[in-house]
Structure 1
C-alpha cells in the first residue's frame, strides 16, 4: 500500500495484524517454526526492509539513527513530542518468532490505528505524536552487549563505541549496518519523546499456568553478566600428566559447575536465583589437545538484590579457587549489570485500569529477562506489558503465543497508546503517565 492510500480503522483489523505477523515471520524462518534472524544478518536486513515498507504503507515516516534503530513516526500534532512504542526484530540463533517481533508489530498497528482514528474523526486530536521503534541488536547474540540500540539511545553507551564492536568473524556493527543499504542516519534525540511503552511475550510460565492475559510489569530482576577468558597452556592429551596440565577447558567446566551450584544454593521457592552459561568457545578445540584457551559468558539473575549480591560475591571468590585448582588464569574481559528497579508507578496503575476496562485478566509481575524497556525506563516514563508464552518456552523455535492472546495484547497496547497520547471522546481527560 502506498503512503497516499493509508488504511482506515475498518481495514486495520485483528486479522490483518495476524497476517502481517505471518509475513514478518517468513524472514529468517526455520523448519521448526522459529526464526534465525541475528542482528545485521541478511535475514534481519530483509525484515527491516519489509518493515520499512509496512510502516510507510501505514502512513509513517521512517528514519534510522546512528546505531541503526528503526523509527516509524506519525506526526499528528506538529511540534509536539512523540509517545514511543517498540521492541526488537532481531532473534537468537534458531529462536522464536514472537520474542521482540510481536511487540514491534503491535506498536506499528497501535500507532496506525490511532492515526486512522484521528484522521477519520473517531478520536479527538491527540496531545502527542506517536511512533514505533525497532531497537537494533537487543539480543546480543552476534554483537555484544545486548540491548545495544536502546543503550545508545538512552546515553548509556556511545554510537562510536558500539559501531566498532565486532562479531566472531571480525565484522563490525558499522560494516553490518552499511551492508543493509538502508537510508542514512538521522538525528533522533531523546528529547523528541514524552513516554515509552513496550509489550512482549512473558518468557516465563506463570501467566500461562494461571490464566492471565495481561502482565503489568512493576519491577525488573537484577542481573550480573560476565564475559570470561580462561588462559591455559596447549599440550598433548596423551602425554601430559594431570599435574602438569594447564587445561583451560577444565577451568571453564569448573566455572560452569560452580555457578550452577551457587544457583542451587541461593534459590528458594519464594526467591529464585537463576544462573547460566550460555556460550562456550574452546581453543583449539581439537580431540587430542589440552585446551590453551576458553571463552564463556555467564550470568546470575534474581529478584532480590541482597541475594544477587551475595551470590555474585561467592562466584567471584570461586574464580580464584578455580584458578588454583586448574592451574589456569581467568580474565574478566567484560561485564554488564543492572539492578532490581521499578517501572513508572503511574504507568502500572494506568495499565491495570485499562486491562480492567477491557475485561482482560491481568496480574502485576516482574521481568526476569532484560528488555529494551530496562534501559528506556531510566530516561522516560515507561509502561511494560506481557502476554502469555506457552509453558514459558523462549529463545527456542517452539516458542508460542495463541492468536487470541496476541490480539488481546494488541487491544491493550492500542488503548495504552491512546491514554498516553490523546483524550478519548466520552471519557475523562487522560493525561497518561507523568514523569
Structure 2
C-alpha cells in the first residue's frame, strides 16, 4: 500500500472525536471509541481478515498465512486521553494495519510463505483516562491483570468497564491469537529524536513506575459559618500533598525522578461547603527502582505528619506498580539494522512512559520503536509528528514485522 493511502487513512481516523484544536477525545469505550473500532473492523473485513474481540475489548485483525501457526502481533491503541492528541496510540495501530497489508500483498503476489501468521491489535484502555489502571487490555491479555476484576472497574460516573464495553457492542468472547512475538511503534513523547535529527528510536528498556492512591478525609461544614479553627478541610490538606508530590523530585538529581498528581476529585464539590473528602492519584517514575521507593517513603512520612497537623485521616495505597522492563537485545539490534537498511537515523533509548509493549514484553519477545514528536509534547491537542516521520516509521515497522513473521526472535520465544 502506498504512503498516500496510509496518510489518507490516518487523517481520516483523526476526524473521529476531533477537538477544535486539532486533537481528539476518544476515551475508552465511549461512542467515539466505538467509531474508531468500527473503522478498524471495516479495514480488516474489506481485506478478508478475520476480526476477533476478546473478553476485555481487545480487537484483533488476523492475517492468516498458515492455518494453525502462531501469530506475530503488531499494534497499539485507538483510545485517547481527554482532549488528547491524534497521534498517541492511533499511529501505531494505523501503521500496523498498513504494514500487515503490505506484507500480505507481497506474500499473495508470490512471495515466500512465512512460517508465522500476522495479527494487528487495538488494545483496550491503554490510556487509563476513564478507567484506571492504564494498559488494561494488554495486561489482561498477558495475564498480568485479572479480567474479572478489570471488568468491575468503574469510571467517575459509576459506569463499569463491562457496562461500557457492552454499551458500545465491543464486549467480546473470542479467544485472542496465540502470540509468538510483538512489535509496536509509537510517537516518542519526548524531544530526543527531534533534537538529534533522527527518525527512529530503538527502545531497549522502560522506567520503573508506581502510583499512589490517596484519600484525604476531613469533615464537611459550612464555608461561611464555620470558624477557621474548627475546620477540617480535606482540600487544603490535599493541596499540600499535590505540592509534596511535585517537590519530592528536588531530593534527587535533576530529571532522575518525575512525578505528578494527574487526577483529583472532591466531595461534596459545593461552593459553600468545606470539602469532606478528596481523592487523588500520584504518579512516580524513574529509571531507578530505589529512587521511586525512596520518594514514596519520603511522601508517606510527610503525609502522615500532615494528617496529624490537620487532625484529619489520610489513606494511602500503592497500585499500578511496574518494574523496569528490558527489551530483547536481538529486537533492539533488528530495529537498528532495519533503520540502517532504510537509510534512517536511529539510536537506542529508554521509554519513560508506559506502553502496551511493556505488558507484552513479559510474555513474548517484543520490539518497541519510536518516531519523533515535535517539541516532545504529548497527551494534549498540540501533540504532533510530521507525515514524513510517520511514513518512515511505517516503512521501518513493515520491515521489522516481515522479519518477525519469518522467524526473527523465535529463539527468545522458546
Please give the range of the TM-score, normalised by the shorter of the 2 chains.
over 0.9
Change (3 A) 1:33 1:359: same
CA distance in 2, matches of 1:241, 1:282: 21
2:104 to 115, 122, 135: 115
| Deviations 1:142-164 (CA, angstroms, capped at 9, x unpaired) | 11111110111011112211111
Structure 2 residue aligned with 1:180: 168
Given that residues 206 and 351 in structure 2 are in contact (C-alpha distance below 8 angstroms), is that contact kept between their aligned partners in structure 1? Answer: yes
CA distance in 1, matches of 2:410, 2:47: 25
CA distance in 1, matches of 2:83, 2:47: 30
| Structure 2, unpaired ranges of 5+ | none
| Deviations 1:121-154 (CA, angstroms, capped at 9, x unpaired) | 1x31111000110000011111111111011101
Given that residues 355 and 361 in structure 1 are in contact (C-alpha distance below 8 angstroms), is that contact kept between their aligned partners in structure 2? Answer: yes
Structure 1 residue aligned with 2:78: 89
Q: CA deviation at 1:286?
A: 2.3
Structure 2 residue aligned with 1:318: 302
Given that residues 63 and 183 in structure 1 are in contact (C-alpha distance below 8 angstroms), is that contact kept between their aligned partners in structure 2? Answer: no
SS in 2 for 1:216: strand
1:135 to 123, 126, 143: 123
Structure 2 residue aligned with 1:163: 151
Given that residues 231 and 294 in structure 1 are in contact (C-alpha distance below 8 angstroms), is that contact kept between their aligned partners in structure 2? Answer: yes
Q: CA deviation at 1:432?
A: 6.0
CA distance in 1, matches of 2:271, 2:149: 38
Change (3 A) 1:198 1:350: same
Structure 2 residue aligned with 1:434: 412
Superposition map of 1:300-379 within 5 A: 300-333=284-317, 335-379=319-363
| Deviations 1:344-388 (CA, angstroms, capped at 9, x unpaired) | 111111111111111110011110111111111011100000000
| Deviations 1:161-208 (CA, angstroms, capped at 9, x unpaired) | 11111111111111111111248421126xx11000100000111111
Structure 2 residue aligned with 1:215: 201
CA distance in 2, matches of 1:319, 1:252: 10
SS in 2 for 1:252: helix
Structure 2 residue aligned with 1:204: 190
Given that residues 87 and 134 in structure 1 are in contact (C-alpha distance below 8 angstroms), is that contact kept between their aligned partners in structure 2? Answer: yes
Instruction: Count how many residue pairs are aligned between Structure 1 and Structure 2.
Output: 413
Structure 2 residue aligned with 1:257: 243
Given that residues 365 and 409 in structure 2 are in contact (C-alpha distance below 8 angstroms), is that contact kept between their aligned partners in structure 1? Answer: no
SS in 2 for 1:434: helix
2:223 to 207, 212, 237: 237
- TM score, norm. by length of structure 2: 0.97
1:266 to 236, 252, 258: 252
CA distance in 2, matches of 1:259, 1:310: 13
| Deviations 1:284-311 (CA, angstroms, capped at 9, x unpaired) | 2223321101011111111122222211
Structure 2 residue aligned with 1:4: none
Change (3 A) 1:24 1:395: same
Structure 2 residue aligned with 1:427: none
Given that residues 180 and 410 in structure 2 are in contact (C-alpha distance below 8 angstroms), is that contact kept between their aligned partners in structure 1? Answer: no
| Deviations 1:216-239 (CA, angstroms, capped at 9, x unpaired) | 100101111122111000112333
- TM score, norm. by length of structure 1: 0.92
Given that residues 347 and 433 in structure 1 are in contact (C-alpha distance below 8 angstroms), is that contact kept between their aligned partners in structure 2? Answer: no
| Structure 1, unpaired ranges of 5+ | 1-11, 424-429
Given that residues 350 and 432 in structure 1 are in contact (C-alpha distance below 8 angstroms), is that contact kept between their aligned partners in structure 2? Answer: no
Given that residues 24 and 47 in structure 1 are in contact (C-alpha distance below 8 angstroms), is that contact kept between their aligned partners in structure 2? Answer: yes
Q: CA deviation at 1:243?
A: 3.1
1:285 to 269, 275, 282: 269
Structure 2 residue aligned with 1:40: 29
Superposition map of 1:343-422 within 5 A: 343-422=327-406
Structure 2 residue aligned with 1:103: 92
Given that residues 224 and 312 in structure 1 are in contact (C-alpha distance below 8 angstroms), is that contact kept between their aligned partners in structure 2? Answer: no
Superposition map of 1:23-38 within 5 A: 23-38=12-27
Q: CA deviation at 1:332?
A: 2.5
